[in-house]
Chain A
Amino acid sequence: MASTAPRPPACVLGQQITVRGTLTGEEDLVVEGRIEGSVALAGHLIVATGGVLEADLDVESIEVHGEVRGDIVASQSITIDKGAHVSGNVRAPRVIIHDGAHFQGAVEMDVDLPEDLARGLKR
């Protein structure tokens, strides 16, 4: 019976799957395939090696081993691992870029700027 099929621990989008549109949710997600559009996830997102996201991402935390083209906002952390390709702007309290990762874009970490610099930016 189909209902007895083994159930992997996490929510997974497999290698041969393409999602076009918006994905929202409140659990961890592993992407081995492709998403085009946007993702809003209150959970941990893992872009596996071979996974491709052409999407703007709003997540709790993200770990990229594959490819992301789009802006990433994370409430906790963004980790760009060795071999990953990311192009877009990233914003999170913690942004980690490992040796061997490819990244192009701006990083914003909500750093407390020195006062004079903060004043200058406001103007």
Chain B
Amino acid sequence: MANTVIGSTIVIDGEITGDEDLVVQGTVKGRVSLRENILVEESGVLEANVETATITIHGTVTGDIQASERAELKSNCRVVGDIRAPRILIADGASFKGNVDMDG
């Protein structure tokens, strides 16, 4: 259960670190480093380098993603950056530009 929610009017410019699930409906610029799950909703924008266990993207991410478990790009998401994760899923309808690395 996600108990941290960055609401749709919220803009964070800086760094988020922590140990619990994160739901992004607003905007985060800078760096995100978590050991749990990130959900970027349709309205969510990450302009950040992301380090996490899993990330599920419905919104927009600009930056490199490093997930220790899984990165999932849902349809209608927009992602620009390099992704490194053992499991990477890109759904039909997703738009993505960058490198994929499943061995790193």
Residues on A lying within 8 angstroms of B by beta carbon are 2-3, 5-8, 10-27, 29, 32-33, 37
Contact = CB atoms under 8 A, between A and B. Distances in A.
B90 to A, nearest CB: 15
Given A18-B16, A22-B12, A26-B9, A5 B4 contact: no
B17 A14 contact: no
B7 A23 contact: no
Chain B interface size, under 10 / 10 to 19 / 20 to 34 / 35 or more: 20 to 34
Chief secondary structure at chain B's binding surface: strand
Given A5-B39, A17-B18, A12 B3 contact: yes
A2 B56 contact: yes
Interface in B1-35: 1-23, 26, 30
A13 B22 CA distance: 9
Interface string B40-72: 010000000000000010100000000000001
| Complex A-B, nearest 9 residue pairs according to Cβ-Cβ distance, in ascending order | A21-B14, A11-B7, A25-B10, A16-B19, A17-B18, A14-B4, A26-B9, A16-B20, A20-B15
